[in-house]
Amino acid sequence: MVKLWMIGHSTILLEASGKRLLTDPYFGLWGSLGYSRLRPPARTRQELGNVDVVLVSHNHFDHVDRAFLSRLPPTIPVLAPSATAFITRLKGGRKVVGMSPWQTLALGEIQITAVPARHVTFTIGYLIEAEGKCIYFAGDTYFGQFMAKIGHQFRTDIALMPVTTYRVPMTMGEQSALRAVRMLSPKTVIPIHLGITPRLPLLRTGQTPESFRERVRQARLQTEVVILHEGDNYVPLEGVVS
Ligand SMILES: [Zn+2]
């Protein structure tokens, strides 16, 4: 059974085919000079337990956790954009595996494919195929035409996407996320990147996952938007389970 567990922000634990995959680990409680963390993660670094692989989309503070990565056993692969793999190593990654777009890696019965993404720094997304399901982890990407190719190659069941943004856009934002939904036609979108907010109120947009869900409804798209809070689990066909 495929199960997603929202740890918080863009940190999601995906359990499938007997493996545990963790996306963009971030366990810090404070944030940064520019952003404050809104709520603590559902689990601490220690409570999370073992993982089999870590998928890093890019090296910003809210996507790589030095204390977590440096404590991982040296046998656990940490996938990261190849162009900046050295930074992931500097940020605690030990067995860092540089990934380029369209490169595929097998983890037991699971296929992980790196896909293009666009941000203010080097970044990639991931398509995870497991147990007949296809899960897209978009990282912090903006909308881009590369999504047409992703939509062409993969029939996405669940898209983990940053659908809200700030006045200085750091992620997709509602309008672009709607375009992405049209292009990818995922069965389900789970909004991510909800755990931090700009310290300067001026930079906040007021976009929420609920307002995005309303937009998708109004557009009469077939996609369902499922909002997960820290600690929520999601199982396809069953929905949110606690
Ligand atoms: Zn981010």
What gap in Å lies between CA 89 and CA 241, rounded to an integer? 36
Q: What is the pLDDT of residues 154-210, one digit of tens each?
A: 999 999 999 998 888 889 999 999 999 999 999 999 999 999 999 999 999 989 999
Ligand 1 midpoint to CA 116 (Å)? 16
Ligand 1 midpoint to CA 232 (Å)? 20
What gap in Å lies between CA 86 and CA 96, rounded to an integer? 8
Ligand 1 midpoint to CA 26 (Å)? 10
Ligand 1 midpoint to CA 228 (Å)? 17
Contacting residues for 9 by C-beta, under 8 A, at least 6 apart: 24, 26, 37, 41, 62, 192, 193, 194, 195, 196
**Cβ proximity of 8 and 41 under 8 Å:** yes
**Cβ proximity of 12 and 41 under 8 Å:** no
> For every one of its 242 residues, what pLDDT tens digit does the chain have, with 9 covering 90 and above?
999 999 999 999 999 999 999 999 999 999 999 999 999 999 999 999 999 999 999 999 999 999 999 999 999 999 999 999 999 999 999 999 999 999 999 999 999 999 999 998 999 999 999 999 999 999 999 999 999 999 999 999 999 999 998 888 889 999 999 999 999 999 999 999 999 999 999 999 989 999 999 999 999 999 999 999 999 999 988 889 86
What gap in Å lies between CA 163 and CA 215, rounded to an integer? 11
Ligand 1 midpoint to CA 2 (Å)? 25
Ligand 1 midpoint to CA 99 (Å)? 19
Ligand 1 midpoint to CA 223 (Å)? 24
Ligand 1 midpoint to CA 65 (Å)? 12
Ligand 1 midpoint to CA 233 (Å)? 22
With CA atoms as reference, report the closest residue to 160 among 182, 120, 187, 183: 187
Q: What is the pLDDT of residues 152-167, one digit of tens each?
A: 999 999 999 999 988 8
Quote the tokens at residue 101.
């777009």
What Rg, from alpha-carbon coordinates, does the chain have? Answer: 16
